[in-house]
Structure 1
């Protein structure tokens, strides 16, 4: 069975979003009150999924250059607002790429040079990156109308929002306990 370039482009784009979603979910789980044990395993899944997301995203971008139907130039892929095809949604994909790249490199390669406070602040750039990639996938993805893809996008949004709320609630609760002197 032969898989066309277009099918690989779609698959790698979807896998990039899937991997980044898994990375975000496990990153949020690691800091949540839900996970008491195996925090190192949760961290490893978070880290591996982020790198897999980056590799599949780069593969997605490289195959867009080879596409016969709607080929992109390197400039269209790397320079925001340069793409002729669906300029705004293509740009969201480009910006998401840069944000993910920035966060991954800061987290894994430059964390010691940045210091924890700056690292933590820059780490939250994954959320706009993830939202941009979601919008890019929904509006440019040719599979977005398929029920299973729509369900997956919905589940991924619900999971990330729920875990963000849980994290915010647990931090607020912890701060309240500290202020009252409760351990």
Structure 2
């Protein structure tokens, strides 16, 4: 049985969101001082899942142009809020795509040409991109009322929040240890 275009669009949208979520998860874990072992593995998973998310979102966008039910034009895909279908939610997806693109380009291609402070600020654009993609997928998806989809989105939110808290607590402990080391 072949999938319909809509099913492929939705599957690839969910899959790209999953990959981007995993990229953020492993990126946050990699920088946690409490998880010192396997930092290289976390980095490889972080980078690989980011690129997998980007590739799947590109195919997601391309399939939107050949959809039988609600085809998008190139301009509707590249210009935020210009789509005929759900202009606001489609636009949020477009902005999320551009933010992910900026993060990938600055992290893997232009990183050696940027100063660290600017790179770090650019890299944290991934969090608003992820939130926008969450809103986009959750509210534009016609299957978002299904329990499995709700569970999927809820799980990714809990995983990212947990990893962010681990990272923030780890940074807090690291700063506290540094202060104590200096005062001794």
TM class, shorter-length: over 0.9
SS at match of 2:65: helix
2:48 alignment counterpart: 48
TM-score for both structures, normalised by structure 1: 0.96
C-alpha distance in 2 between matches for 1:9 and 1:32: 35
Cα deviation, residue 34, structure 1:
4.3
Provide the residue aligned with 2:155 in structure 1.
155
Q: Secondary structure at the match of 2:129?
A: helix
Q: Distance in 2 between matches of 1:171 and 1:25?
A: 16
Give the SS at the match of 1:82: coil
Moved over 6 A (4+): none
Which residue pairs with 2:95 in the alignment? 95
- Residue segments in structure 2 that go unaligned for 5+ positions in a row: none
| Aligned length in residues | 183
Answer yes or no: is 1:137 the counterpart of 2:99: no
When the two structures are superposed, what TM-score results if normalisation uses the length of structure 2?
A: 0.95
Which moves more between the two structures, 169-178 or 7-16? 169-178
Alpha-carbon deviations, 1:36-73, whole Å to 9, x = none?
22211111111010000000001000000001111111
Structure 2 match to 1:181: 181
Any stretches of 5+ residues in structure 1 without a counterpart?
none
User: How big is the shift at 1:176?
Assistant: 2.2
Structure 2 residue matching 1:181: 3-state secondary structure? helix
What is the aligned-residue RMSD (CA, Å)?
Answer: 1.3
